[in-house]
Amino acid sequence: MKPIQVGLLGIGTVGSGTYKVLTRNQAEIRRRAGRGIEITMVADLDTARARAIVGEGVQVVADGRAVIANPDIDIVIELIGGYGIAKALVMEAIAAGKHVVTANKALLAVHGTEIFAAARDKGVMVGFEAAVAGGIPIIKALREGLTANRIEWIAGIINGTTNFILSEMRDKGLDFGAALKDAQALGYAEADPTFDIEGIDAAHKATIMSAIAFGTPVQFDKAHVEGITQLQAVDIRYAEQLGYRIKLLGITKRRDDVAGIELRVHPTLVPAKRLIANVEGAMNAVVVQGDAVGTTLYYGKGAGSEPTASAVVADLVDITRLHTADPDHRVPHLAFQPGAVAATPILPIAQVITSFYLRLQVADQTGVLARITTILAEHDISIDAVIQRESAEGEKQTDLIILTHDTVEGRMRDALALMQALPTVLAPIVNIRKEELS
């Protein structure tokens, strides 16, 4: 059988890795897919650079639409990024009856429902393994390996840039700004790091995992998103003294008590003894809790040219296997059921259940701690641990660090407002969520 023909839109970091991996491992990939897979056409704005990567045997064009118009191409890979031209080209490829593979988490998290509905109508597949956690096959794990399970929750370190910054802050005692500069100098953070440090990139990925795990439409706009820009080195130190590490986690959780789903990204205290707390540098890891399997952990490179290409090519192989199969036995490559579970809402953050780390700078007077614990008790928030430390701000002040047990977030917000209003509380109260992940 002649090889399946693939068109590549955008041959930058991931696109060039995809071309290299596919070419280098050609024979093995053919054996596994049951058919050869060849990139025969590439579109990129920089045609000279594209030509330099692929050599003479591949057709190179500047306009992605020429790839979509080519009737010999069965699969289109979109590796341009963003919501603009990438969305238009993906929709046009689907409309032309092509299968699509993309690493574009931003596009899927925001427009996924529309894209998947169009793919379903056309009977084509959309592969997006590379969109979440780069080279880690987490989409496959959720969709295939864990398919017997009722997923209870997922928690992941799914942004390498922020994990690198947090590791630097902890290892070297650096503040956020200094650690960000290091990350930029070493190429772990972009010149404009907003998407990473504000938690948006992690929220895109958490949104996609949530939709697959719970069968709901993608709803990025309902995610609660907090980044790491406000984190201070002092809180990383105190967390350490209490046996915790601070990680930026993407969390999604089924909540049967209120028939909803939690979807949130924020800095989180995690017990230092958990494996995920020890994931350092730019590495990614995802913990999935299923009712049958229990807890499973997936670890690896979440970005980079060839790690991400590894996931792109896995999707190409999947599609090739299914495409080659008897058309009556093709399995649609979609795990969402648009509309089917749409009634299960993403919960507002006030309804989330979590525990907290609090740091209060208070006047060094008797009765202050009693007043604060009373406010917490009045809101039904129980205390797990309290430590009191000399404040760096001077003798007349004390740092009060409190760990709470689980509570409804709204209750904690009310308690925080009352505590903040006390004249003996001298600075904004630092509050960071905490998850035991057990």
User: Angle between the 409-420 and 368-378 helix axes, to the nearest 10 degrees?
Assistant: 150
Query: Out of 139, 151, 303, 400, which residue is the one contacting ligand NAP (CB under 6 A)?
Result: 303
For ligand NAP, the closer of residues 219 and 310 by Cβ is: 310
Cα within 13 Å of Cα(315), Cβ side: 33
Among 47, 45, 51, 58, smallest CA distance to 84 is for 45
Q: Does 81 bind ligand NAP (CB under 6 A)?
A: yes
Rounded Cα–Cα distance for residues 73 and 3 (Å): 11
Q: Which of residues 28-47 bind ligand NAP (CB under 6 A)?
A: 43-46
Residue 225: what are its φ and ψ, rounded to 5°? -125, 120
With a CB cutoff of 8 Å and minimum separation 6, the contacts of 420 are: 428, 429
**Site map 247..286 versus ligand NAP, x via CB under 6 A:** ----------------------------------------
Catalytic residue status for 105 = no
Q: Does 11 bind ligand NAP (CB under 6 A)?
A: yes
Nearer to ligand NAP, 84 or 243 (CB): 84
In whole angstroms, give the CA distance from residue 229 to residue 162. 10
By CB under 6 A, residue 227 contacts ligand NAP: no
Buried b (16+ CB within 10 A) or exposed e, 293-318: eebeebbbbbbbbbbbbbbbbbbbbb
**Residue 66 or 386 having the CB closest to ligand NAP:** 66
426 sits near ligand NAP (criterion: CB under 6 A): no
Which of 8, 79, 118, 231 is in the footprint of ligand NAP by CB under 6 A? 79
Name the one residue in this structure whose structure tokens are 């969305």.
87
Is the alpha carbon torsion for 241, 242, 244, 246 positive or negative? Answer: negative
**Contact call for residue 64 and ligand NAP (CB under 6 A):** yes
189 Cβ partners below 8 Å, 6+ apart? 161, 164, 165, 180, 183, 196, 197
Cβ atoms 228, 203 nearer than 8 A: no
Q: Cβ closer to ligand NAP: 196 or 226? A: 196
- Strand ranges (DSSP E) for 291-351? 294-301
For 18-68, the DSSP string reads: HHHHHHHTHHHHHHHHTS-EEEEEEE-S-HHHHHHHH-TTSEEES-HHHHH
Q: Does 203 bind ligand NAP (CB under 6 A)?
A: no
Binding residue for ligand NAP, selected from 6, 75, 125, 130, defined by CB under 6 A: 130
Among 7, 15, 199, 260, binds ligand NAP (CB under 6 A): 15
CB of 79 or CB of 346, closer to ligand NAP: 79
d(CA 334, CA 110): 16
**Which CB sits closer to ligand NAP, 114 or 436?**
114
Q: Quick check: 85 binds ligand NAP (CB under 6 A)? A: yes
* Sole binder of ligand NAP in the list 39, 41, 80, 283 (CB under 6 A): 80
Residue, CB closest to ligand NAP: 12
Choices 6-14, 268-276, 332-340, 341-349; region in contact with ligand NAP by CB under 6 A: 6-14
In angstroms, the CA 286 to CA 210 distance is: 12
- Point out which residues pair with 360 in neighbouring strands: 400
Task: Work out whether 104 is an interface residue with ligand NAP (CB under 6 A).
Answer: yes
Q: Is 427 in the site for ligand NAP (CB under 6 A)?
A: no
- Strands of the sheet with 4-9, listed across from one edge: 59-61, 37-43, 4-9, 75-78, 99-102, 126-127
Nearest to ligand NAP of 74, 306 (CB atom): 306
**Annotated catalytic residue within 98, 105, 205, 247:** 205
Query: Could you give the string, one character per residue 131-150, with x where binding to ligand NAP holds by CB under 6 A and - elsewhere?
Result: ---x----------------
Listed ranges 101-109, 212-220, 277-285, 416-424: which one lies at the site for ligand NAP (CB under 6 A): 101-109
Query: x/- binding map, residues 163-202, to ligand NAP, per CB under 6 A?
Result: ----------------------------------------
Q: Nearer Cβ to ligand NAP, position 289 or 310?
A: 310
Q: What's the 3-state SS for 247-259?
A: EEEEEEEEEHHHC
Return residues touching ligand NAP (CB under 6 A).
9-15, 43-46, 64, 79-81, 85, 103-105, 130, 134, 303-304, 308
Residues marked active site are found at 205
